[in-house]
């Protein structure tokens, strides 16, 4: 059974690079809030609540809620449009992400809370919409699950002398590396372009969208 283009390595790497970039952007430029790493936001939420900094706690609470809403909407897209059509539901997810992240580039530092909520919402949409690369369950917006799985595959590969498992471990570690490079580049872009740095993510997502559309047309031509 042929895999969907949304599971291709190139699309996955573009999304992972963008995921790292988004996290770096919100943390460096938008008040030390994570776009993807909601565990970190929950920890900082708890710390601020304990310290009595209730107003400061809100800047961590709302991105968590926004991320959750993004997941809900993406799943809604899947259920509503899974029967197919000219535009796949994952295409809609990417278009929504592109629109949101482009809009964020126009929000000043006075609107950091709104900007962080929009980026976290986009991340929630992405993590729910794109969950596999080459048939492997992989996240493109966070690393902890990928790191655990990669290490498990590596240990099993060595133990069983299994090249296939080793290649799967390398895939997971590769996605983690690309995510990390995206974070490095995100920091560099913030230093160079400030508020507009986030525009790099819509460009990457637009490239992923184009790749998926090209493959869809090729598949239609074979029918």
Q: Tell me the pTM.
A: 0.91
- Is residue 196 pLDDT above 80, yes or no? yes
- C-alpha triplet 25, 29, 34: angle, nearest 5°: 55
Overall number of domains in the chain: 1
CB contact at 8 A, 20 and 11: no
Tens of pLDDT along 68-114?
999 999 999 999 887 665 678 899 999 999 999 999 999 999 999 99
Tens of pLDDT along 121-136?
999 999 999 999 988 9
Which CATH number do you get for residue 151?
Answer: 1.20.1250
What is d(CA 62, CA 120) in angstroms, rounded to the nearest whole number?
9
DSSP lists the bridge partners of residue 132 as: 137
Q: Which residue has the higher pLDDT, 2 or 24?
A: 24
- Is residue 218 pLDDT above 90, yes or no? no
Rounded to 10 degrees, what is the CA torsion of 44, 150, 208, 212?
-130
User: In whole angstroms, how far apart are CA 40 and each of 33, 44, 116, 123, 208?
Assistant: 8, 6, 14, 15, 28
Confidence of residue 214 (pLDDT cuts 50, 70, 90): confident
**Residue-range definition of the domain harbouring residue 203:** 5-222
């Amino acid at each position: 059974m042929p895999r969907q283009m949304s599971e291709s390595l190139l699309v996955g790497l573009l999304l992972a690079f963008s995921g790292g970039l988004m996290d770096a952007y919100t943390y460096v430029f938008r008040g030390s809030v994570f776009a993807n790493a909601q565990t970190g936001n929950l920890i900082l939420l708890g710390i601020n609540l304990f310290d009595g900094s209730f107003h400061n706690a809100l800047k961590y609470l709302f991105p968590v809620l926004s991320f959750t809403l993004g997941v809900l909407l993406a799943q809604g897209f899947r259920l509503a449009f899974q029967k197919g059509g000219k535009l796949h539901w994952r295409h809609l997810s990417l278009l929504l992400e592109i629109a949101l992240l482009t809009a964020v580039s126009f929000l000043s530092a006075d609107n950091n809370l709104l900007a962080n909520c929009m980026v976290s919402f986009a991340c929630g949409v992405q993590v729910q919409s794109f969950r596999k690369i080459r048939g492997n369950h992989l996240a493109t917006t966070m690393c902890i699950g990928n790191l655990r799985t990669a290490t498990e595959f590596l240990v099993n590969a060595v133990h069983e002398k299994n090249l296939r498992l080793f290649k799967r471990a390398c895939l997971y570690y590769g996605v983690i590396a690309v995510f990390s490079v995206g974070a490095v580049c995100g920091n560099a872009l913030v230093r160079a372009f400030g508020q507009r740095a986030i525009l790099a993510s819509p460009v990457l997502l637009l490239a992923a969208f184009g790749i998926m559309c090209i493959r869809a047309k090729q598949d239609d031509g074979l029918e």
